[in-house]
Structure 1
């Protein structure tokens, strides 16, 4: 009685043209591959069988570099009783069930979304809280070098003006988390215009142009309260951790670990902008709460936001909103004007009503 056989395509390793061949198991645990003009026998233990994956052909790899491709068959399970790995078996089971594929795709998508929306920010907040003080100092030193090259200069404000603002600022943040690290500084920055920023080490900068733009000192303090919120919540270091994490993970998902392609870079930009908008909203909420607790009118924040929006020509298009690192200006103004501690509305911009 002839042994059962399988038919397949034999690639001999020397030419790309396959030959039809019959595969059978012979005595002595040997595998016979026979085409119309050639036959070979090899020990079963020297043959590697590819894992089962849906309806794809199985591949028998021979020790001489040739291979035979054939349809899956129970004979292969009898000839090669070695079980597939759990991963291979699970992949094969999944490939054969469309509903399972759909469920797996939904679960995978949900996991990725949850990872970026909740996992990355929480991990970044935890890591930022564990970083030693020296890391924040080093990062701030590097940032100052960059800002210096971008045109940040010594302030031209009179000393008395600076001291008065600094005294009110220190009184405002006294007793707040991390307040002992906060230092107010001023700088002339024609290229930046009216602006303020916080460095990870606790230095908070207000530009001379911001002081000139503000209608009163309360508006300046409102901006500084926002920057204090960035320091309290460690937004500088969190943003650095989040951005680098997103670039790496998105690059791996998109198959470009360097993040150099547009396809890989655009999702990273959108995600990082989303994290930054979240930080800005958190700092806004902190500032409005701090102003209320210190007896200052939160509407001052809305008024200075309106002035800054006009000075910088803030746009509110939908595309700009997705790419922006800050929430829309009208949204921020409305939050300030309607905060629980705000006084009667005055100078409320039409688009913020």
Structure 2
């Protein structure tokens, strides 16, 4: 049957094939270009299309397929004669108005720019506001589950396995326990040292604080590590980690939509990673500093060593890479504040020399 149609089309006089849109009948017609396109059959005009209403339709190579705004929706005219097609195209000023070849492209580009701009505005203003509003509403149980997922992602991304040397772990628990009790936090806080060369410490939603081996290796005394841990406990107290998780997760989800990740599958991985590598807001950092200073002073210990450790890290690493300074930017004003706030040291050392050495070697006996 298809062969018969092909033969009929090739034998047809210059004109076209017309489908009236009300039946599947294939009609070989003659075309006349006058003040409008006249479609004739057996010497009679069966349709008349104004040139302004004619539009190009999708068609195979070598065929000009047309529709008309005033004709039935399914009406189509097919022209195979190249000269006739060229003459007709010259008469139709709006032939491609409904195709993404001219105005369609401009419309698509315009809407795409508008969509991208709206996403940028939501990322810059909407997401932070939503994070501030939503954080207090997140149930503790859900936050703990979210923290468990983030913890697993962080361990995979940074290849950080928990360090389990018994003496080192005991010293670490003693240090964290003193800080936690002094800060008024309950015993639901989870903490540990991860075997990674990254010089950082971080807090995760659900009461999790971790220290990377790389930072512990650069510390010279317990007060330096205690100050950093107290700072992270401050982020936990203020739920900064949960706020950043919502912020970063929402941002990465929107950016994923912009670039084609319609499932948002990378949002949680991105959010978990950025909790370790990106900085909190200025207010969040200031509040965590205040928390750390107050906690150290209640213990009768100085807060300045925390700043000295951060300065030592940035001095060795130039402030680059995934260091403590990249996620907790240290300024001279912050260090000066810690120094100025310190008074006389009245408390006993947080760890004995033997416990400090054990903590320094917590990752030396292997990791689980």
TM-score range, shorter chain: 0.5 to 0.7
Alignment of 1:44-193 (within 5 A): 60=69, 62-66=72-76, 70-71=92-93, 111-145=118-152, 147=155, 150-158=160-168, 161-174=171-184, 179-180=185-186, 183=189, 185-187=191-193, 189-192=194-197
Match for residue 334 of structure 1 among 328, 332, 338: 332
SS in structure 2 of the partner of residue 115 of structure 1: helix
SS in structure 2 of the partner of residue 204 of structure 1: strand
Relative CO higher for 1 or 2, CA cutoff 8 Å, sep ≥ 6? 2
2:173, 2:252 → 1: CA distance? 42
Greater CA deviation, 127-136 or 290-299? 290-299
Q: Specify every segment of 5 or more residues in structure 2 that has no aligned partner in the other structure, as ranges.
A: 1-15, 20-25, 57-66, 78-87, 95-102, 343-368
CA-CA distance at 1:120 after TM superposition: 0.9
1:21, 1:116 → 2: CA distance? 56
2:302, 2:319 → 1: CA distance? 26
Name the larger-Rg structure: 2
Alpha-carbon contact 1:242-1:275 (below 8 Å) kept: no
1:113, 1:48 → 2: CA distance? 40
CA-CA distance at 1:166 after TM superposition: 2.8
2:254, 2:175 → 1: CA distance? 44
Superposition TM-score, scaled by structure 2 size = 0.53
2:220, 2:146 → 1: CA distance? 33
Alignment of 1:225-264 (within 5 A): 225-254=230-259, 257=262
Alpha-carbon contact 1:196-1:207 (below 8 Å) kept: yes
List 4+ stretches of structure 1 deviating above 4 A. Answer: 10-14, 19-24, 35-39, 47-50, 67-72, 104-112, 143-146, 207-212, 272-276, 280-283, 324-331
1:140, 1:274 → 2: CA distance? 11
Alpha-carbon contact 1:301-1:336 (below 8 Å) kept: no
Superposition TM-score, scaled by structure 1 size = 0.55
CA-CA distance at 1:314 after TM superposition: 4.9
- Cα 1:209–1:161 shift into 2, 3 Å: farther
- Cα 1:331–1:207 shift into 2, 3 Å: closer
Alpha-carbon contact 2:199-2:215 (below 8 Å) kept: yes
Q: CA offsets per residue over residues 50-87 of structure 1, 9 Å max, x none?
A: 9xxxxxxx962633342799447xxxxxxxxxxxxxxx
2:227 equivalent to 1:222 = yes
CA-CA distance at 1:138 after TM superposition: 1.9
2:45, 2:276 → 1: CA distance? 65
2:300 equivalent to 1:290 = no
SS in structure 1 of the partner of residue 340 of structure 2: coil
Q: CA offsets per residue over residues 202-239 of structure 1, 9 Å max, x none?
A: 13233566445322332112211221233234344444
Q: Specify every segment of 5 or more residues in structure 1 that has no aligned partner in the other structure, as ranges.
A: 1-9, 25-31, 51-57, 73-90, 96-100, 345-353
State the Cα RMSD in Å.
Answer: 5.2
- Cα 1:304–1:213 shift into 2, 3 Å: same
In the alignment of these two chains, the number of paired residues is: 272
